[in-house]
Structure 1
């Protein structure tokens, strides 16, 4: 996940940029505006950090996902969202 030493404003900015890039990479009809995009980016960082620790990519428990990993995590969240949306 994102490094806790970043301030909350950094989390918002990184979340906005990572979520925005994820939405650009996977264009389509997705809900929300800026707030949802920020949450998507932050969620992507959390997912990437969790998966990275589970797979042993990070040595320390405090190691967090980087910016690129946050984008990949956000893309993964969008992909899962679209899969569940199609099944309805």
Structure 2
């Protein structure tokens, strides 16, 4: 899967993670989108650590689930580091 595809998945998952955990990331949509892209990368790393491949294709459900999980993790960490306790 291409780098552009991972960025696109990250942008979408960042927006969805922001909807699930509202108020965790100060900085607006730019921070949310960056968190999503980083979250997609973290999700791919988590998938490789548990022995699964999240790089099967753009429309593979596992790819999207691990990107979402990674986005939630990064969003939670960002909220803790930035001191936002909403």
Alignment RMSD (CA, Å): 2.2
- Structure with greater proportional helix content: 2
Give the TM-score normalised by structure 2: 0.70
Q: Secondary structure at the match of 1:66?
A: helix
Write out the 4+ residue segments of structure 1 that deviate beyond 3 Å after TM superposition: 10-13
Q: 2:65 maps to which residue?
A: 68
Give the C-alpha shift of residue 53 in structure 1.
0.7
- Gap runs ≥5 in structure 2: 56-61
Correspondences of 1:35-74 after superposition (within 5 Å): 35-58=30-53, 63-64=54-55, 66-74=63-71
Equivalent pairs, count: 77
- Gap runs ≥5 in structure 1: none
Q: 1:77 to 1:67 in 2, by over 3 A?
A: same
Give the TM-score normalised by structure 1: 0.68
Instruction: Answer yes or no: is the 8 Å Cα contact 1:12–1:38 preserved in 2.
Output: no
